[in-house]
Structure 1
């Protein structure tokens, strides 16, 4: 049960737009690799909410730390890195650590998670 709560919390933090989560990247989303992808997220804050998801915030520092704050009061910290076209996150508490392929459309970063969901990270 705790894993499901943490997973739901992480999904909210990553800006899921609705109860139905897309299983594919949007048409036109571009693959960025290495430094180009890093430049899209380093030093930026992302957030979002939708459907039954609670508003949340993800902050990626230039130094490789990541911070998660959810309106429910859940917080987590960890480390992030880029591997090719993947954003990799290692959380201290959340069981959702790992890498996900990323694509970009405008300022929005889309990440394919291990469970097949594509989540969107919308800049704040």
Structure 2
């Protein structure tokens, strides 16, 4: 956030505790542009621009067209290609994986599985 305020607003942080414009700084924080580090960290889908999202969809539909017209699987309607994952989808998958890993010891204990065992 410090770097974003410096880059986009030319304001050096940290601000003084007695600063009377704290509400204004809060509004500026909420108004940071989508290119800011803070916005991208809060919403990984902002990592890609609208054009990159459209390009991702175009690539996916070209793969679908190729699959449908040029492969036996496509003519039979099986094993369709999956769309490429967006940064937001990858971040959600990583978050779910990390949550599962952190809960693994509890799950193993509940199931009666010894540590490191299967």
TM-score relative to the length of structure 2:
0.21
TM-score, normalising length from structure 1?
0.20
The structure with the greater share of residues assigned to strand is: 1
Bigger helix fraction: 2
Larger Rg: 2
Q: Which has the higher contact order (CA 8 A, sep 6+)?
A: 1
